[in-house]
Structure 1
């Protein structure tokens, strides 16, 4: 857990001193979340610096990210560059690792990314009850119906994107042919997606339940925090020396 490694917040403050106000005001996610709000807290504004600290504290040179986080990673690279220029080479400029699907979209609103920030209807929890996952897939946005050769709507395209992640290629292609022919039944598509998704999630869900039953979750978190702090302490010690705090 980040909260178990206090070096994150210390580095965040130090990196904030080499981050410009202009950098933070240009962050797209900040502008989107602040839009129309009467009160916008400073934590939201400063959060990209904490994200940069999360990355740079471990001298990461590659980071797996979603497409929507590329701007945040670019800011981390810019902060690393400024720190290195001012205090000497220390931080790598991390490169992104994008997955097969760089951005998953909400089942309830396929124009938005899948995110807990938008509420429970806009994401699928890995440990949610099966009936709740099925409800979200069953009620996923599609369109008013098909005609042969009809272009795929954003909602249907999103279901296909998810299906491609969990189902065999031949299953996906069969549904694509049905869509092109105008014979695809959306309930069949959703039922198949649900079945393959649950098969994919099953080992993850079973492993978590096993660890919880044995009472090992807290031990695993503590061991991870200990390993992380060994790295974090060394890096923050060097950072302090570079900036004159030691």
Structure 2
């Protein structure tokens, strides 16, 4: 479902639309890097925002790398709490939604040393001032959980450049707010090529067309705000969370995101699960009020998630197999990273 807008498309959006046309014609020429930090359970916002798109690109025939960014957990916190649990939770969610380890490489940062070694030469290609001006870094510093900002926070965009360029990724699915991060990656690739010779592509952004999905409190759905419905939530837990969601005093249900964010967020969630237009969903509920709206949302979410939750439970019965999938992905990522690092060292004239 795509949002209808009368606003002119930005250059990034126009380029993204052209890339979608190219993917449809020749998906095999695209190598895509995407991923998540293991800081908590993935939720419906992740599913409709990014996760289902990864499966779509995989199924179209693009080569997809999915990074579990365990090192980057430390960018905005002092310790990586419950890391093993969260990594395994991500793996279960990926497999449950349809990520196929035979076609998609799933790996984690800490298991691929050669990837992280790229950070050193890449840091020499950007200035401290450039990193400090990055608006995403500024925002993350403002919301950091650390008493003092660490050096890892400032180097986060360059570490992301290493994530993307280690596999010579040429396409990165991002939201509009992540474009500055990707621009750092493009800068690193361009400057390395200018200084040492052509090694890296300058990756393009594939902008997400997914609308912003609000949490149960009417603000952006987030792991840290306690306002999300996890992919692995039970039917009863889903019903409880949605029952407590924020609405308003107007009994007549409409889809007006600007003036009724809580109600509109619930309507949109139902519409996404039902693959329907949100205005039509709201009109159908009409004067049923918040109770009817929440019943509609609960039923829609539970029906949409039922097969995903069933697959998740099935995989969870054999965590040895799940860990083997990650080990195999790490082996594949290590081979790719070692080859790229060797090429980088040769381009820089280093001896081994």
If the length of structure 2 is used for normalisation, what is the TM-score? 0.60
Tell whether the 8 Å contact from 1:12 to 1:53 is kept in structure 2 after alignment.
yes
Structure 2 unaligned blocks of 5 or more: 1-107
Tell whether the 8 Å contact from 2:255 to 2:267 is kept in structure 1 after alignment.
no
> What residue number does 1:9 align with?
116
Matched, 1:126 2:235: no
Matched, 1:238 2:343: yes
Once residues 240 and 160 of structure 1 are traced to their aligned partners in structure 2, the CA distance between those partners, rounded to angstroms, is 53
Offset from partner CA, 1:47-88 (integer Å, 9 cap, x none): 121112111111111112233322212221122112222121
Shift of 1:237: 0.9
Matched, 1:196 2:305: no
Offset from partner CA, 1:172-220 (integer Å, 9 cap, x none): 44333257x6x25223222222222222222322223222213311111
Partner SS for 1:84: helix
Tell whether the 8 Å contact from 1:68 to 1:103 is kept in structure 2 after alignment.
no
Once residues 26 and 133 of structure 1 are traced to their aligned partners in structure 2, the CA distance between those partners, rounded to angstroms, is 41
Once residues 143 and 222 of structure 2 are traced to their aligned partners in structure 1, the CA distance between those partners, rounded to angstroms, is 19
- Relative to total residues, which structure has the larger helix share, 1 or 2? 1
Matched, 1:161 2:265: no
Tell whether the 8 Å contact from 1:108 to 1:141 is kept in structure 2 after alignment.
yes
Residues 27, 83 of structure 1: CA spacing in aligned structure 2 closer, same or farther, 3 A cutoff?
A: same
Structure 1 unaligned blocks of 5 or more: none
Tell whether the 8 Å contact from 1:30 to 1:45 is kept in structure 2 after alignment.
yes
Tell whether the 8 Å contact from 1:138 to 1:190 is kept in structure 2 after alignment.
yes
Shift of 1:104: 3.2
If the length of structure 1 is used for normalisation, what is the TM-score? 0.84
Offset from partner CA, 1:133-182 (integer Å, 9 cap, x none): 33332222333325698944222232233223211327x44333257x6x
Matched, 1:75 2:184: yes
Residues 150, 12 of structure 1: CA spacing in aligned structure 2 closer, same or farther, 3 A cutoff?
A: closer
* Pairing of 1:40-59 with structure 2 (within 5 A): 40-59=149-168
Once residues 271 and 334 of structure 2 are traced to their aligned partners in structure 1, the CA distance between those partners, rounded to angstroms, is 38
> What residue number does 2:18 align with?
none
Q: 2:282 aligns with which of 144, 158, 176?
A: 176
Residues 74, 159 of structure 1: CA spacing in aligned structure 2 closer, same or farther, 3 A cutoff?
A: farther
Matched, 1:207 2:207: no
Once residues 150 and 156 of structure 2 are traced to their aligned partners in structure 1, the CA distance between those partners, rounded to angstroms, is 10
Matched, 1:98 2:207: yes
Deviates more, 1:70-79 or 1:150-159: 150-159
Once residues 304 and 255 of structure 2 are traced to their aligned partners in structure 1, the CA distance between those partners, rounded to angstroms, is 31
Partner SS for 2:118: helix
Tell whether the 8 Å contact from 1:11 to 1:57 is kept in structure 2 after alignment.
yes
> What residue number does 1:19 align with?
126
Residues 151, 160 of structure 1: CA spacing in aligned structure 2 closer, same or farther, 3 A cutoff?
A: closer
Residues 8, 103 of structure 1: CA spacing in aligned structure 2 closer, same or farther, 3 A cutoff?
A: farther
